[in-house]
Every structure is written in structure tokens, then in C-alpha cells.
Copies of this chain bind each other. A is one copy, B any other.
Amino acid sequence: MSRPPAIVLVRPQLGENIGMAARAMANCGLDELRIVAPRDGWPNPAARAAAAGGNAVIDSARVFDTAAEAAADLQLVLATTARPRDVEKPVHGPREAARLLRESGARAGILFGPERSGLDNDEVGLAAAVVEAPLNPDFPSLNLAQAVLLMAWEWRMAGPPSETPVPSELAAAEAFEGFWRHLDGALDAAGYYREPKLKPTVQRNLRAIFARAGLTDQEVRTLRGVIARLSAGGRAKDY
């Protein structure tokens, strides 16, 4: 049986929403809550009150400074968004995403952005794929806790996978970050980013290609070898 995904609330504003999200998680059998830079600090009495029977989820929640830190050990990160982004990533509905989570066997997490603004582009950049629910196009914006319920419910309904999943060899987010910094730094040194204004867009697009591929640890090492070798012009020792 695959372990339930971690729910990662990024910069949540209202304690009530954190509590209601925890309650929805408990309803659906999810227990791992990660909170990134909660606006009103932590612990938050309003969150605990709103969690009702889900307060064990609140009590065991872990707090992080950044989404990247919260996702560091995760092998499969999904980002929820209310509207399509310009990044080139696969977009799944919640039902499809839940199936993907069940089948991958990876240590997974789902990112949810702040109530007002949603995830920023760098945070979406941490994810291998985007989850977007096919809601009323005139009013697609779900309350934060409702969005968590929707994913938790779909995960629950996607049921245990038919076979026991093979333990995933996907690289954890931290290893992926190391690879990305290596590539980015090599490109900087080589003068690849000629237009400062375009740099963030070029970085985002380039990163999305590799995020989407779902790299294993071995593949991360291979690509780092490629970067080292190409940028050294034959002088590097890495293979």
C-alpha cells in the first residue's frame, strides 16, 4: 500500500483553513501535514480549534521556511493551481493525479498555495506536474481547505493499487535541486543567460523540462556528469 501523500500548505494565511485542511486530511486517512511560513505563526490556536477530530494532524505538523525545504525529501511533487500557467508541465485533474500518486509508489507531496495568490512560479517549479480541477470556469477558486479535501478524497477513492508498487528510485527534491544548481551555474559561467530580463523565464522553462522527466538518482548523476564534461571541454574527471 502506497504511503499517503504529504499535504504541503505554502504560506497559508488563515488558521481556520489550516485546521479545516487537517480535518479533511483525517477524514480521508492522510496524516502528514507540512506548513511553509504560516502568516500567523505556529502553533496557531485557531487551526487547532477548526481541526476538530483532526487535531492529531495539527499536533504532528512540521513547519518549514521555504517550499523547497518542505519538499526536499519528496520524490514526486505535485502543485495545485486554479489557473493554467505558462510553464511546460503536465496538467492533471485531481482524479488522474490521485491515480498517478497511487501507482508511482514514490514518496509524494502536494503543494497548495496561499489563499489570496496561489503558488508563485518558483514554487510551481518544484513540481513534476500541475493539478488543476475542472471546475466552473466562471468561479474556479476553491477555498484552501476545500482544495485539500478534494485531493485527499480523490486519493482515498483511487484505492490501493492493484499490485504493490515497486519502491521508487526517483531522486528526492534535494538531489534534483543540486543538479539544477549545477546546470544553472554552468550556464551562468558560460554566458548562456545573455538577456537579464529573460533569464527567469529561460530558467523556468529549462528547469521544467527536467522536472517533468521524473529523474532517478542515477540519472541525476548522469546529467551532472554531462554538464561537468561539456563545460570542462574534456578536462573534467566525472563520468
Contact = CB atoms under 8 A, between A and B. Distances in A.
Interface in A213-235: 213-216, 218-219, 222-223, 225-227, 229-234
A49 to B, nearest CB: 13
A61 B84 CA distance: 32
Contacts of A222: 202, 205-206, 209
Contacts of A29: 135-136
A153 B94 CA distance: 11
Contact of A209 (B95, B141, B213, B230): B213
A187 interface: yes
Interface string A13-42: 000000010011011110000000000000
Contact of A230 (B91, B141, B162, B227): B227
A165 interface: yes
Interface of A: 20, 23-24, 26-29, 52-54, 84, 88, 91, 95, 133-136, 139-143, 145-146, 149-150, 153, 156-157, 161-162, 165, 168, 183, 186-187, 189-192, 194, 202, 205-206, 209-210, 212-216, 218-219, 222-223, 225-227, 229-234, 239
A8 B161 CA distance: 29
A20 B143 contact: yes
